[in-house]
Structure 1
């Protein structure tokens, strides 16, 4: 990770990578066998994971508790099954899941082409929210985590900050106001503190 003014940037190539049968994942925070005590979370944000899932593959039944999860489908179709419902989530759509009291689900490729999606997880009840930004924006929050899902952006944290260029797969941890310019899609997680 590198510091640029009030921004800490993790480049796409610095993310942890996990390969499972039919699934390749890149993690912005410690995950699975990739334990880094200095990179466990950013405030209430626990995970930002990009997954590439081949047809017929995915994540079998598993449980979550005490978190909120948002998945953004970049390519393909995500099949989401829980104990209470089943749905298909298409390219460009967000799936929001509240696992505060517990959730058991399965996530698989729902189509015949590769599925690529980003999944963000944070502690439930922490006053955290997520927005999808497609172009120039001002992000005002005490703290924010930004993940460039598509495209290229410039990002700065104030008038004295020269900013930093970001590409797909890069992420930013910021304290205070952040200004974005460019085009594509950025997942912006606003933290209450």
Structure 2
């Protein structure tokens, strides 16, 4: 009898709709299934296809800086390498990246210091930073072009940054080669 009365009540239907909509919004925002998903990317390191002039040895990409990723909000490991290609362009390369999947992950160059533990989770958006693009996968090897105007003397760290929750999954200090 009580169940029948509740089912006929407009208030019950309004509350049910609010709960279903709230649950849908919560799932879309937090994306909890990402805790169980993984995307592996294996891009080749940038190379030069042919010598610039006949008889000249092939030019190789030059390592400008490198660093090792440390964990922040999520366990993260891998190496970051900044390469200058023979044409003068620069590429940030993530090698052997291993981190958690998450919503809205990006690769950032930043002027923030890399701090271990919780102290380092949220510092990367406090100063200057440059978003190099969405993280293509949470595992593997990936290349991100660095725009010519980016000053690597100023931006000395890299973060795998979750834009949705303003937190670093992991970061590395770039040591000049």
Larger radius of gyration: 2
Which structure has greater strand proportion?
1
Which structure has greater helix proportion?
2
Q: Given the two structures, how large is their TM-score scaled by the length of structure 1?
A: 0.27
Q: Given the two structures, how large is their TM-score scaled by the length of structure 2?
A: 0.29
